């Protein structure tokens, strides 16, 4: 079972988090201060720590630094949960060892979705193993952007992020990538992508009709092309698969299936 160390001095908040986490299949270790957290982390080596920034015996920043100094510390995912940061804390957080930050109050569903993205997977590959290959991720959802970057770095890639299309285009061109700007459903734009010799195509357009136009044209150009797409409904999944997509990811379904997997794994034997 996956283990999270929960560090929170407020007993009510700690209980709310514990109930939500256990309901999603997490094993929860609890500490009400930094000293207790360090002792539990050393004894149990949790892969993930969820901690408040304001603790009775030390600051959350000091705790995060001391967690990183443990033998397994560099591999821990440390997520800060706190109210709005002060200007000084924002500056300190920018250079801190935290993996991520969640502002209180936080809905349990958002907390669980974020933790699911950071849940332990297989041992990460080193950037050297990937030959220093670079990936640029562009997403206007900050939570998704952080999780994608984290997961892809685990695979051994060098990752750069962009929060919108304009920023992404500028960074890609700066790095010397060949970039085409336009409507991907336009045959002239799609032709520039040289799909006839491509191995894989990712279609992330949220609108199913436009995404379907891209999938259908790409499949006609290259029958052997692997096409991966996204969708937000079962009808959209069927539509894109019918037009030639090899794999269509439905976000809501993926979340539900992962939660059910953990619930099943948590059943007593």
pLDDT score of 255 more than 80: no
Helix (H) or strand (E) holding 215, with range, is helix 208-221
The Cα 153–Cα 132 span in angstroms is 11
pLDDT score of 68 more than 80: yes
Asked if residue 214 lies in contact with residue 244, where contact means CB atoms within 8 angstroms, the answer is no
Residues 6 or more apart whose Cβ sits within 8 Å of residue 242: none
Q: Say if strands 77-82 and 48-52 run parallel, antiparallel, or are unpaired.
A: parallel
Confidence of residue 91 (pLDDT cuts 50, 70, 90): confident
Instruction: Give CA 119 to chain center in angstroms.
Output: 9
pLDDT tens figures, 161-183 = 888 888 888 888 888 888 888 88
Instruction: Answer with the residue of higher pLDDT: 93 or 240.
Output: 240
């Amino acid at each position: 079972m996956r283990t999270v160390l929960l560090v929170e001095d407020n007993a009510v908040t700690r209980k709310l988090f514990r109930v939500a986490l256990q309901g999603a299949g997490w094993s929860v270790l609890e500490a009400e201060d930094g000293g207790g957290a360090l002792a539990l982390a050393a004894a149990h080596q949790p892969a993930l720590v969820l901690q408040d920034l304001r603790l009775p015996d030390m600051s959350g920043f000091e705790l995060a630094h001391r967690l990183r100094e443990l033998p397994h510390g560099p591999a821990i995912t440390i997520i800060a949960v706190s109210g709005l940061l002060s200007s000084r804390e924002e500056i300190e957080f920018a250079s801190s060892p935290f993996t991520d930050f969640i502002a209180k109050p936080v809905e349990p569903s958002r907390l669980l979705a974020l933790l699911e993205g950071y849940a332990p997977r297989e041992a990460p590959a080193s950037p050297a193993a990937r030959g220093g290959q670079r990936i640029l991720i562009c997403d206007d959802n900050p939570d998704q952007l952080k999780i994608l970057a984290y997961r892809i770095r685990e695979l051994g890639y060098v990752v750069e992020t962009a929060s919108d299309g304009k920023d992404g285009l500028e960074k890609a061109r700066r790095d010397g990538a060949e970039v085409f700007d336009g409507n991907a459903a336009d045959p002239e734009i799609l032709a520039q992508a040289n799909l006839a010799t491509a191995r894989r195509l990712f279609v992330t357009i949220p609108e199913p009709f436009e995404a379907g136009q891209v999938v259908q044209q790409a499949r006609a150009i290259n029958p052997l092309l692997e096409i991966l797409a996204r969708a937000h409904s079962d009808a959209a999944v069927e539509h894109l698969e019918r037009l030639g997509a090899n794999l269509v990811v439905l976000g809501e379904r993926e979340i539900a299936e992962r939660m059910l997997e953990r619930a099943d794994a948590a059943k007593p034997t």
